[in-house]
Structure formats: structure tokens, C-alpha cells
Chains A and B, each alone.
Chain A
């Protein structure tokens, strides 16, 4: 019964891929819809029934985004804030993660976990009052500092895992050979966890890039980031789908690219080492 067995195998494979497609479809469809919407002329974008596959392609939406809005400025703002948040987060978070892993400082690690749990909006009122009094609303500094609340816990928690995986003999050897803790950290530990640093940098970058809640209050005319800019493109009466979808596509693109680069580490990052128990 060779054919029967082969048929069963074939059916099993087909069933598996059908299941994969069924699970992926809702997720992928939204992105497909967004991208096609950005390429449609307004009439077709608002047409009913909607056209899924056949439509005329235009880049007017993209042109309009750049013509009507200072989109490059918003992109620059988002970049400055996300990079600033990541660099500062690494500078502060790496030594802390090393120290938590090396000296088993559970308290600090737990504090960072609580920071993940506290609703972001509870920070927002004091920050707003503080930064308003310091005349720092609408500055990069305020945005970078506040985005650290999202970035720093990720950096620290993911890096703890990486630092713990370093064989203790390596550090001990460095210390016995007369290296200070700073030398052991900088010359031994950090080079070993470089892949982790890349992964956490990208995660922290993405989280800052996507942040909406903090930026909507603390960013102003000069520092408005991309998510807020797109939000402001949603008018009250009429929604101009083409440019909106074009802007959304351009915002999403870097995130998708970065995610594909570090997809292996992204589970660790997003789940915060919780699966480890």
C-alpha cells in the first residue's frame, strides 16, 4: 500500500500548511491591506465592495505625505528619540544587568519587573507637571528620558540572561589575573554578549519607535514623533486613506526589517525571560 501511505503523507503535509496559512492569514492580511491601500487612488481606496487584487497603482499617497506634512522631520525626531533612548538605556542598563547577574541582586531585577507592570499612564501626570515646570515639554531630552521607562526594563532583563550564560571561570580568571571588575566587565563580559546587545538594542529601539502614550503628551510641534504624526492625520470628518496608509507603511517598514534581523532573540526579549521561570 505504498500509494495509500504516500497519499496520507501528502495529506498531512497539505493539512499542516493549510493550518499555517489559516493562522497567518489574519495577521498578514492587515499588512497586505495597509500596503495596497497606500497604493490605491482615493476613489478605489474608499470603494465598496473593496478591491483586493485588482486596482490601479499610484504613488500619490506617498507624494502627499511628503508634500503636506514635514514627514522627514517626524522621522528624524523618531530616530533621535529611539536612538537616544537605546544608547542611554545600554549605558545605564548593561552595568546593572551585569551586576544583577554577577552578584545575584534580585531586588533591582524585581523593581524593573514592577516597572513593566505599572500602567504607563501613572507616570504621565507627574512627568507632565515636572517637565512643564522645567520648560522641557517638547524637547528630545524629555522624550528620551520617558521612553527609558519602556526601554530600560527590556535591556536589563534580557541582558541578565546573557550575562548569566557567561561561564564564571572566564570572569574569575580575569579577576585573578589582576583585572578590576570594570576590566572584567568591559574586556571579558561585554565582548561575549555582543549578540545580546544587538538584539536588545533593536528591541528597545522598536519599543521607543512605537511608543504612543508618552509622546502624545510630551512631544510638541518640534519633536512630534511618527506615531503621533500619523494619529494627527486622522481627520474628524473625512479620512484620506491613501496618505494615511502610506505613512503607516513607511513607519512599519523599519520595524519589520529590524524584527526580521533579530527574530531569534525577539522571543526572549518580548517575554522577558518569563518562560525560564
Chain B
């Protein structure tokens, strides 16, 4: 549509014009490139450049703490990740497991001090023995997943609500006339219609859970004894505690691949149906 108006303006005869007018004409004609230009430059600077740089760094060996320059070692970092680093492998499965927990577990509350925490008081009310929550390597990951679930359940509810509000009324009316019960219309109408929304919610949650950083970093820093160390935390420590930038970069690329892969799989599921 806007093209037609452009054409109208351009087809008008143009007598000799001043620089200013010609400049503004030029700007008007190329508005479609000039409008998004600042955003494109910003994106290139703060998103694309760092991503490319990370990819390049992942092929090097470099400790930012030392004076030696980066050394090009091709794919050795990735080889190390895939075959020579049990800690990464553990972190990898832990990340997936954490994501699984965070996406599927129900809501609960936290405050995890083993003797003083409010959580243990609530648990003791039910007659169970107190947990050590984040203070034990056996339960730390579950405790963190609970916090994550607590933090993000409201968002999932909002997404579901938005999806529910957009459902058509007619199927429910005809179901009612046909004598369907409330449970039946929920199972056979609401759930199938809501499927895209549910997939989107899972997608958002999975992406965010794979990237979880704040909660783990603040509450356990990956401990006790690495038991809650996900890829994000391992990567962060490699980069900013050991300054092993090259290796950390290759982990960043690996994490990116995992997140991207998970999103693509989920998007595919969304299109195909389940």
C-alpha cells in the first residue's frame, strides 16, 4: 500500500530542488531502510558481534589472566567438551534434568535453611523429617528447581489465560447442547484447542530453564560439591573465576546449540501436533 503512495509522489515532475529538500526526499524514499537502521546497528553491535566473537574465541586457548596471547587450537576445546571433561557431561545432564524438573514440577515455596528455614517448619507440620534443601548435595538441585518453578508458574498461568481468553465459544455451546459434562468439554475441546498455547508455554519455560543462572548462582553457586552446577554456572566459573576464556566460549557455543536445538524440536512439535 505505501508503495502506491510513494509512486504517486515520485511521478510528480521535480524541478531543480535545494539540497535539503532532496535529502528529505531521499530519506522518505528509503525510509524502510532508515527506520530500522539504528536498531540494526545496535543489534549488530551488542548481539551479532559478541556471538561471532564467542564463536571465534571458542577456537582459541586463552587465559585472560595471563599475558600470553590467544593461541589458535581449532576444535580442541570442543573435543575436550565432548570427550575429556566429565564435569561438563555432568553439568549437561544436570541442566537437562533441572529443566525437566522446572518445567514439570508443581508449585511450592522455599526458604531452605536446614534448621532455621520456614520450609522445614512447614514440612515438619506434615510429619516428615526436615530436609537439608540446598545444603545437601543430594537435594540441592531439587530445591533450586522448586524456586524456579515458584518464580515462573505465574507466567505460565498468564500465557494459559491469554490462550483461554482467545478460544471460540461455539464448540462449548454445541457440546452443551449435546449433553457433554464440564470435564468432557475440558478434555475434548479446551485441551486440543489450547495445544498451541501449551506448546508455547513449554517452549518459553524450557528455554528459560536451560538458561537459569541467577537462582543457582545466588543460592548455591553450583555447590555443594558441584551438585547443582549446570552448564551456565560451569561456564561462568570457567570464564570469570579461572579466566579460561577460550574454553568457556566453546561451552557458550555448546549451550547455545542445546537451547537452539530444544527450541527447534519444540517448534516442530508445535507444527505437527502431538
Q: Does A261 contact B (CB under 8 A)?
A: no
Shortest distance in angstroms between B149's beta carbon and chain A's nearest beta carbon?
Answer: 9
Whether A99 contacts B153 by the Cβ 8 Å rule is no
> Contact check: which of A116, A118, A182, A274 meets B27 at CB < 8 Å?
A182
Chain A: interface secondary structure? helix
The CA of A175 and the CA of B211, in the complex, are separated in Å by 45
Convert B122-159 into 0s and 1s, putting 1 for each residue whose CB lies closer than 8 angstroms to a CB of A: 00000000000000000000000000001001110111
Q: Does A111 contact B (CB under 8 A)?
A: yes
Chain B: interface secondary structure? helix
Q: Does B188 contact A (CB under 8 A)?
A: no
Whether B240 contacts A128 by the Cβ 8 Å rule is yes
Point out the residues of chain B lying under 8 angstroms from A27, CB to CB: 107, 150, 153-154
Whether B46 contacts A48 by the Cβ 8 Å rule is no
Point out the residues of chain A lying under 8 angstroms from B107, CB to CB: 23, 26-27
> Contact check: which of B43, B49, B116, B166 meets A275 at CB < 8 Å?
B166
Whether B32 contacts A103 by the Cβ 8 Å rule is yes
Whether A172 contacts B1 by the Cβ 8 Å rule is yes
Chain A: how many interface residues by the 8 Å CB criterion?
Answer: 72
Contact of A121 with B162 at beta-carbon distance under 8 Å, contacts A146-B46, A148-B42 already known: no
Convert A92-103 into 0s and 1s, putting 1 for each residue whose CB lies closer than 8 angstroms to a CB of B: 110110111011
The CA of A234 and the CA of B219, in the complex, are separated in Å by 9
The CA of A168 and the CA of B5, in the complex, are separated in Å by 12
Point out the residues of chain B lying under 8 angstroms from A212, CB to CB: 213-214, 217-218
Identity of the chain A residue whose Cβ is nearest the Cβ of B239 in the assembled complex: A125
Shortest distance in angstroms between A204's beta carbon and chain B's nearest beta carbon?
Answer: 14
Q: Does A195 contact B (CB under 8 A)?
A: no
Contact of A181 with B28 at beta-carbon distance under 8 Å, contacts A103-B2, A270-B155 already known: yes
Point out the residues of chain A lying under 8 angstroms from B54, CB to CB: 122-123, 125-126
Convert B217-261 into 0s and 1s, putting 1 for each residue whose CB lies closer than 8 angstroms to a CB of A: 110000000000000100110011000010011001101100110
Whether A275 contacts B47 by the Cβ 8 Å rule is no
The CA of A33 and the CA of B150, in the complex, are separated in Å by 14
Whether A112 contacts B43 by the Cβ 8 Å rule is yes
Point out the residues of chain A lying under 8 angstroms from B207, CB to CB: 116-117
Q: Does A21 contact B (CB under 8 A)?
A: no
Contact of A171 with B2 at beta-carbon distance under 8 Å, contacts A98-B35, A123-B50, A212-B214 already known: yes
Q: Does B108 contact A (CB under 8 A)?
A: yes
Which among A98, A231, A267 has the highest number of chain B CB atoms within 10 Å?
Answer: A267
Point out the residues of chain A lying under 8 angstroms from B81, CB to CB: none
Identity of the chain A residue whose Cβ is nearest the Cβ of B109 in the assembled complex: A26
Convert A233-277 into 0s and 1s, putting 1 for each residue whose CB lies closer than 8 angstroms to a CB of B: 010000000000000000000000000000000111011001101
Show 14 A/B contacts (Cβ-Cβ < 8 Å), sorted by A. A117-B259, A122-B50, A125-B50, A125-B239, A126-B50, A129-B64, A129-B245, A130-B50, A180-B24, A181-B31, A267-B158, A270-B159, A271-B159, A275-B163
Residues of chain A whose beta carbon lies under 8 Å from any beta carbon of chain B: 23, 26-27, 29-30, 33, 46-50, 91-93, 95-96, 98-100, 102-103, 105, 108, 111-112, 115-130, 132, 145-146, 148-149, 152, 156, 168, 171-172, 175-176, 180-182, 185, 212-213, 216-217, 227, 231, 234, 266-268, 270-271, 274-275, 277
